[in-house]
Structure 1
Amino acid sequence: MADPRFYEPARPLSISQLEKLSGASFEGLAPDGLSVSGVAPIEAMAAGFLSYAEKGAETPVNGAVVLTVQKHAASLRDAGCIVGISDNPRAAFARSAGHIFVGKELVQGEAEIHETARVFPGAFISAGARIGAECIIEPNAVIGPGVEIGEGAIIRANAVVTFAVIGGGSIIGSSSVVGKTGFAVVLGIEDKLRVPHFGRAIIGKDVSIGASCSVDRGLFGDTLIGDNVQIDNFCQIAHNVKIGKGTVMAAYAGISGSTTIGENCLFAGRCATTDNITIGNNVVMLADAAAMYDIPDGERWGGSPAMPARNYLKQLTQLRKMSGIKGAQGKKARR
């Protein structure tokens, strides 16, 4: 459910209002007087809350309001859900969910700032934020409502932190943005829609995030960065990504949505992943590697698409032989 530190209800929607906004059809089957008062992912449905299901739902909840396609409507109704039918449930949700719950805006007012914290001129700290002991908030940094900054953390100049919890001792680099909306776009329709986000960005203790990085908040759940993760400059961490403690990423890493990365991994420069994959613990990614598949613990991968490093290096060797390039010449050419 949306964290009340960061989100607030806008207004309940009646079924007729929901039909108009979403474009879904409830076929006159919703009880009279029913309204929708919240939003939730399909795996955490609640009575009176709006969700969407593109592939059905294993554990539907009585009284939940679900936008879905025609073929799943009957089974969800039989389980007690209030069902709206749409050819594109994700688009229907995107059109309507932001009218039910909204993110809190920056607002002047009292924040909880520890007496030992240092806040430089030009920094803006929104009402409801909490700044811990010995923190440093540098010039022109922006701290959003509800944000918690742990003891000894440093927010560098021009950084923006919203919808986030920052652990003690962590550093957010200059011009980095933590907690912004992720890049969730509804495809297959003429007018592309951005899906509203209701999650958070949770940064562990002693994390270092370099300059000009972006860490998106989760769509429903959280984007999680574990303790002692070290992220270089110009890196992108998408919504709902999970990074295990002790992992290190060099510059220009791009981690796609809902990717899970284990502990103590090493990503060389310009590494990337596709979405919804799992990378195990102690994995090494060579420079320019692009992971398209799950990677087991302890492996070393390279190439695009990425493969075990031994296979990748064999391919490079074969290509050089086929092209007549010797090792020394290849090194000279790379310079």
Structure 2
Amino acid sequence: MADPRFYESARPLSLTKIETLSGASFEGLAPDGFFVDDVAPITATKTGSLSYAERRPTDVKAGAVILAKPEFAAALRDAGCHVGVTEHPRVAFAHAAAHVFTERPLEAGAADIDPTATIHDGAFIAKGARIGSGAIIEPNVVIGPGVEIGSGALIRANAVISFATIGADTEIGSCTVIGKTGFAIALGTEERVKVPHFGRSIIGSGVLIGASCSIDRGLFGDTEIGDNCQIDNFCQIAHNVRIGSGTVMAAFAGISGSTTIGHDCLFAGRCATTDNIKIGNNVTLLADSAAMYDIPDGEKWAGSPAMPARNFLRQISQLRRLSGIKGAQGKKTRRD
């Protein structure tokens, strides 16, 4: 269920209404008593939820599911699911899911602000937000409805925070945006549809996030940044990313959706990952690395695509040898 601090439940949708909104074909519509009032990933379906699958789903036993291939439908119907079929299930889901929950509006109203907090002129604190003791909110900050700012937190000027909780003693840099939707675009035959998001951004305690960063909220679940992480300026953290405590990222890091990163990792400048990979604990990525595969605990990787650093450095050495480049090449020269 979407967090009620940030989302409002719309009227439950009948399967007939979902068919109309999504364009999916549901054979043998459910009885009048069946309604959808929640959304869920295909791995966590339940009674009353709406999900979609672009590949063959497994262990799905409840709710309404939109599929691409009709040959998968019979087994799900036998298991008790209500199944719709369409060529582009993600597009269909996006059209229907947008009517299950709506975002709470950004409006002025009663907010829970501790009397010891400092709110500078020009800051906007939305209805239902909570600001902890000793927190400092600088000018032109926007705090969305339901957002919680922990005690001692410092939110620098022009930051925008929505659909999020910020831990104690955390600093958010100027012009950083936390809690916006991720880059989830459903591709149809002739349309591009933005998939609605229903998750949150959870930022731990003692975190430092630099200026002009972007941290997306989760699609169904949460984007999480653990305690004591240090994230430099101009970093992008996509939806559903999970970063363990104590991890450090230098400027221009780009972390793709649903990547899991362990604790106490070190990302040098301009590092990136592809989506849905797992990076272990105490991993180091050297500058300009692009991680495209899972990385075990304690390893140091480099290159694009990234590989164990010793392999990368060996390749560079061999290329220099083959091309006749001497070791002195590449050293910095002084310019007057």
Range into which the TM-score falls when normalised by the shorter chain? over 0.9
TM-score by length of structure 1 reads 0.96
Partners of 2:300 and 2:255 lie apart in 1 by: 17
Aligned residue number for residue 29 of structure 2 = 29
1:55-113 deviation line (CA, Å, top 9, x unaligned): 34433234x11111312211110111111111221111011101111111211101000
Range 20-29 or range 232-241, more displaced: 20-29
Quote the RMSD (CA, aligned, Å). 1.5
Structure 2 equivalent of residue 72 of structure 1: 72
Moved more, 53-62 or 168-177: 53-62
Q: CA deviation at 1:163?
A: 0.3
Instruction: Note if 1:277 corresponds to 2:273.
Output: no
Conserved 8 A contact 2:14-2:32:
no
Cα separation, 1, equivalents of 2:332 and 2:145 = 54
Aligned counterpart, 1:250: 250
Looking at structure 2, the residues matched to 326 and 13 of structure 1 have their Cα atoms a distance apart, in angstroms, of 69
Structure 2 match to 1:238? 238
2:329 aligns to what SS in structure 1? helix
1:4 to 1:310, Cα distance in 2 relative to 1, 3 A: same
- Check conservation: 1:55, 1:72, Cα contact below 8 A: no
Question: How many aligned residue pairs are there?
Answer: 334
Secondary structure of 2:328's counterpart equals helix
Alignment of 1:116-127 (within 5 A): 116-127=116-127
Q: Does residue 1:303 correspond to 2:303, yes or no?
A: yes
Amino acid at match of 1:271: C
| Per-residue CA distance 1:91-147 (angstroms, 9 max, x = gap) | 110111011111112111010000000000000000000000000000000001111
Matched, 1:192 2:192: yes
Q: Secondary structure at the match of 1:102?
A: strand
Per the alignment, residue 202 of structure 2 pairs with 202
Is 1:30–1:82's contact at 8 Å kept on the other side of the alignment? yes
1:1-28 CA deviation, whole Å, 9 max, x = no partner?
Answer: 2111111112222222211211100123
Q: Paired residue for 2:42?
A: 42
Cα distance in 1 for residues equivalent to 2:55 and 2:79:
15
2-side partners of 1:265 and 1:73: how far apart? 43
Partner SS state of residue 16, structure 2: helix
Encode CA deviations 1:223-274: one digit per residue, 9 max, x unaligned. Answer: 0100000000000000000000000000000000000001100000000000
CA distance in 1, matches of 2:332, 2:154: 43
Alignment-mate amino acid for residue 193 of structure 1: V
Of the structure 1 ranges 6-15 and 131-140, higher mean CA displacement relative to structure 2 is found in 6-15
Give the whole-Å Cα distance in 1 for the aligned partners of 2:246 and 2:212.
Answer: 21
Shift of 1:326: 1.1
Within 2, Cα distance between the matches of 1:3 and 1:57?
Answer: 26
Judge which range, 244-253 or 187-196, deviates more: 187-196
Q: Is the 8 A contact 2:38 2:49 kept in 1?
A: yes
User: What is the distance in 1 between the residues matched to 2:280 and 2:319?
Assistant: 30
**Secondary structure of 1:315's aligned partner:** helix
Aligned counterpart, 1:108: 108
Q: Is the CA contact 2:16–2:29 (under 8 Å) kept in the aligned structure 1?
A: no
Aligned to 1:328: 328
Q: Partner of 2:331: helix, strand, or coil?
A: helix
Q: Which deviates more, 188-197 or 227-236?
A: 188-197
**Aligned partners of 1:188, 1:292: CA distance in 2, in Å?**
27
Helix, strand or coil: the match of 1:73? helix
Whole-angstrom distance in 1 between the partners of 2:59 and 2:267: 38
Which range is displaced more, 165-174 or 25-34? 25-34
Q: TM-score, normalised by structure 2?
A: 0.96
Partner of 1:330, secondary structure, is: coil
Q: How far 1:179 sits from its partner (Å)?
A: 0.5
3-state secondary structure, aligned to 1:133: coil
Amino acid at match of 2:192: K
Structure 1, unaligned runs of 5 or more? none
Question: In structure 2, what is the Cα distance between the partners aligned to 1:151 and 1:59?
Answer: 43
Note the alpha carbon deviations across 1:157-203, whole angstroms, 9 max, x for none: 00000000100000110000000000011135321111110000000
Could you tell me how far apart the structure 2 residues matched to 1:103 and 1:333 are?
Answer: 55
Deviation (angstroms), 1:29? 3.3
The verdict on how the C-alpha distance between 1:193 and 1:171 changes in structure 2, with shifts beyond 3 A counting, is same
The equivalent of 1:54 in structure 2 is 54
CA distance in 2, matches of 1:42, 1:204: 28
Q: How far, CA to CA, are the matches of 2:41 and 2:137 in structure 1?
A: 35
Partner SS for 2:165:
strand
1:48–1:313: structure 2 CA closer, same or farther, 3 Å change rule?
same
Check whether the contact 1:67–1:93 (CA below 8 A) recurs between aligned residues. Answer: yes
